[in-house]
Structure 1
Amino acid sequence: MKAVKIFSVAIASAGFLLLATAAEVKAVSLKYNTSIGRPANLAGGELPGTPGTLAAPQGVAVQESTGNIFVANGRGIDRIDVFSSSGNYLEGIGGTGSGPGQFDEPAAIAFQPGTGNLYAGDVFNNRINVFDSKGNYLKSVAEGQFGGLIEGRLFFGPSSIVFDKVGNGYVGDFSNDRIIKINPDGEIIGSIGNSGNQLGQFQGPAGIAISPKSGNFVVTDQFNNRVQILNSEAKPIKTFGEAGTKPGQFNQPVDVEVDEFDNIYVMDLINSRVQVFDKDGNFLSEYGKAAAGRPPQLGEQSPYGDPLDLTPGTFNWAAGSDYKDGKLYVGDFFQGRIQVLDVNNTQSTPVPEPDYSLGLAVLGTAVAVAKWRKNQKQKLIESLEKRLGKSLDTEEQLEKPYFSRS
């Protein structure tokens, strides 16, 4: 939703013309639409990996040409599972192993514009696998470039993948606290950031998005509990957020999307919610609540929280995401599903704001009004002098009751 400018004109008591503008305030709300995938029915003897079931969905990507939804299906399933836009299971891509097109924990996924190729992070094999638009393996890139697990962190490897308009890719190197830049052929041509908590530094760059309007980068800085904004040249501009549970605070933000109106959607991982901000980081709204069930513990066989709570809007960690055509796709990490949310952009009451581009017009109008008033005053003085048969020495005499009938 674009902020619509409204012009208003008013005459002040002093006689000057006032010109003001108002910008309609953006309001963004999220509403549950449906779910893609489901957890396996363990009690009924169903195993994770049964077609149509998901475990720890870390990456989500919607294919432009078909509307199909691709999901990184982890925890030993090691596939990219494909669902139709209506949620029907279609096929799986890959399988467990280290050979061509195989995975050992698939992670972030994204489609390259132009080619339609699918890039998929492969955590333990330390690489990105590339497939064509039909799921045929093409090659692997950036092999051996990603750091291993760091004590105190939950994730490692290629943490996010996003492409710019010319096909360059930007991949989160989570443990090395940087973003790797690759050219359209998959060759590394640079990097962004380093380890720390200053502007332009990261501690776990988990999610990356590029604004379709400004070209700015928006990055979730997971263990600094903040979001960073960099310009189109990857120069840091600002950060927003801090650790906490209140609106505008985070507990390990893990992924991020930016829509066509520059609204920012942050997957607030352990707070189990999605928070929405404007392009400057001002809080707009939030959606979701934490499931009562605990996450699975180390050593447990189940990839799911206990108990499951599959009511709409309940998350056991809000994870990987994608935004497409007014819908936000959010991984419900320990509940084996993708929640699809409708994004509603609305307009509220206009709020006045200065518009300095109107300065010359306002000044010109004010000068014209002042000149007109001066001419009218002079005509009034001349008329009074003629009627009274004498000169008026000061303008103050105009305030005296010359029109008395006595």
Structure 2
Amino acid sequence: MKYTILFIATTLMLFSCKEEPKSWQHSKTILVEGVNPIGIAHTPNGIWLSDGDHNRVVRIDENGNVEESIDSLDRPMHISSDGYEISIPQYGNDVILRWKENIVKEMAIEDSLDAPAGIWRTGEETAIADFYNNRILYSKDNLEWISFGKEGKAEGDFYYPTDVQITKDAIWVADAYNNRVQVFDKSGNFQKVIGVDQKMNAATGIFVSETALFVTDFENDRVLVFDHEGTLLQEIKEHIAKPTDLILIDSKLYVANYRTSELNVFEWKTGAAMNEEAHSHEDHEH
């Protein structure tokens, strides 16, 4: 009898010590009045948003107030940052600008762009989502470029790519109107596709962390979180309205809402239930 009691007590103790599942949970909303955010980036002096409707890129404080503005642009889209420098693709005039401490340079590219929608720069590497040309341009040194992709629905094809990110060994692309994310090596060879089973409707923005892929599903008013192999970990719908882009800053997820002129902030916490498809991965690290 005493062994039975001991077994029950031990079992209860093990269950009580089990860590609660974690998920991304909404922590606050930052209203960015007068800004319709499309892209988001972060430098040591703050968060930057591209405001394509007003042809500018702005830096905001923690309360959403505009502290600095880069004006007279032509439909800036998915921006990126490297240190204090902001790279700005202009959808309207096919020009990419590099801005740092009020010094502006035009990025020299021998090839012709047609509505660049997204850019990612890290060190000497650059990748550009060339929207109407349905391709990606990539350079490891900003001198020699490769181009890959064409219009289509097959693996390796694009239908209006809008965002791009470079990681250590790969190039990740928001293939917006094929409703998926595609991954390539740095020679432009197709590696894998993510999200085709989730019935996305305009996969506009991506952010890739060390363990996860975050995707804005624009028309479905949600953010999807995958692991790097494409397994769905979480669907975020709370406080999401026409999301365009997102970023991790200090382990917090910032989502830009185009419709409501907001940034919504999510934290990795215990307690919230996860969707059924992701339930088996509830303890996965972010």
Q: 1:79 and 1:89, CA in 2 relative to 1: closer, same or farther beyond 3 A? A: same
Partner Cα separation in structure 2 for residue 334 and residue 221 of structure 1: 21
Is residue 226 of structure 2 the alignment partner of residue 277 of structure 1? yes
1:326 aligned residue (239, 243, 251): 251
Contact 2:221–2:237 (CA under 8 A) maintained in structure 1: yes
- Counterpart of 2:86? 118
- Counterpart of 1:163? 121
1:199-219 deviations in Å (ceiling 9; x for gaps): 2111112222234xx522222
Q: CA deviation at 1:184?
A: 5.0
Q: How many residues align?
A: 258
- SS of residue paired to 1:335: coil
Letter in 2 for 1:59: G
Partner Cα separation in structure 2 for residue 143 and residue 122 of structure 1: 16
Is residue 112 of structure 2 the alignment partner of residue 145 of structure 1? yes
Q: CA deviation at 1:349?
A: 8.8
Q: 1:202 and 1:168, CA in 2 relative to 1: closer, same or farther beyond 3 A? A: same
Structure 2 matches for 1:68-107, cutoff 5 A? 68-75=46-53, 77-95=54-72, 103-107=73-77
Partner Cα separation in structure 1 for residue 174 and residue 212 of structure 2: 15
1:48-100 deviations in Å (ceiling 9; x for gaps): xxxxx212x1111011x23x00011121x2111111245343111122xxxxx
Is residue 95 of structure 2 the alignment partner of residue 127 of structure 1? yes
Partner Cα separation in structure 2 for residue 37 and residue 192 of structure 1: 38
Q: 1:167 and 1:345, CA in 2 relative to 1: closer, same or farther beyond 3 A? A: farther
Q: 1:54 and 1:123, CA in 2 relative to 1: closer, same or farther beyond 3 A? A: same
Report which of the two structures shows the higher radius of gyration computed on alpha carbons.
1
Is residue 217 of structure 2 the alignment partner of residue 263 of structure 1? no
Contact 1:36–1:83 (CA under 8 A) maintained in structure 2: no
Q: 1:81 and 1:29, CA in 2 relative to 1: closer, same or farther beyond 3 A? A: same
Partner Cα separation in structure 2 for residue 127 and residue 227 of structure 1: 25
Partner Cα separation in structure 1 for residue 35 and residue 183 of structure 2: 32
Q: 1:215 and 1:28, CA in 2 relative to 1: closer, same or farther beyond 3 A? A: farther
Q: 1:109 and 1:184, CA in 2 relative to 1: closer, same or farther beyond 3 A? A: farther
Letter in 2 for 1:337: E
Q: CA deviation at 1:188?
A: 5.8
Q: CA deviation at 1:279?
A: 0.9
Q: 1:285 and 1:266, CA in 2 relative to 1: closer, same or farther beyond 3 A? A: same
2:145 aligned residue (169, 172, 189): 189
Partner Cα separation in structure 1 for residue 148 and residue 189 of structure 2: 9
Contact 1:126–1:143 (CA under 8 A) maintained in structure 2: no
Is residue 202 of structure 2 the alignment partner of residue 252 of structure 1? yes
- Counterpart of 1:204? 160
Question: Which structure 2 residue ranges, 5 or more long, are not aligned?
Answer: 1-20, 272-278, 282-286
- SS of residue paired to 2:259: helix
Structure 2 matches for 1:2-401, cutoff 5 A? 29-39=23-33, 53-55=34-36, 57-63=37-43, 65-66=44-45, 68-75=46-53, 77-95=54-72, 103-112=73-82, 116-132=84-100, 134-142=101-109, 145-147=112-114, 157-164=115-122, 166-182=123-139, 185=142, 187=143, 189-211=145-167, 214-242=168-196, 248-260=198-210, 262-288=211-237, 313-315=239-241, 317-344=242-269
1:110-157 deviations in Å (ceiling 9; x for gaps): 1135xx32110112121111111x23323344488222xxxxxxxxx1
- SS of residue paired to 1:223: helix
Letter in 2 for 1:69: I
**Greater share of strand residues, 1 or 2?**
2
Contact 1:104–1:124 (CA under 8 A) maintained in structure 2: yes
- SS of residue paired to 2:79: strand
Partner Cα separation in structure 2 for residue 232 and residue 223 of structure 1: 23
Letter in 1 for 2:99: F
Greater mean deviation of Cα atoms: 271-280 or 81-90: 81-90
Letter in 2 for 1:162: W
Contact 1:322–1:330 (CA under 8 A) maintained in structure 2: yes
Letter in 1 for 2:28: T
Q: 1:272 and 1:333, CA in 2 relative to 1: closer, same or farther beyond 3 A? A: same
- SS of residue paired to 1:198: coil
Question: Which structure 1 residue ranges, 5 or more long, are not aligned?
Answer: 1-26, 40-52, 96-102, 148-156, 290-312, 351-406
TM-score, L = length of structure 1 = 0.57
**Percent sequence identity over aligned pairs:** 24
Letter in 1 for 2:152: G
Contact 1:318–1:332 (CA under 8 A) maintained in structure 2: yes
- Counterpart of 2:6? none
TM-score, L = length of structure 2 = 0.79
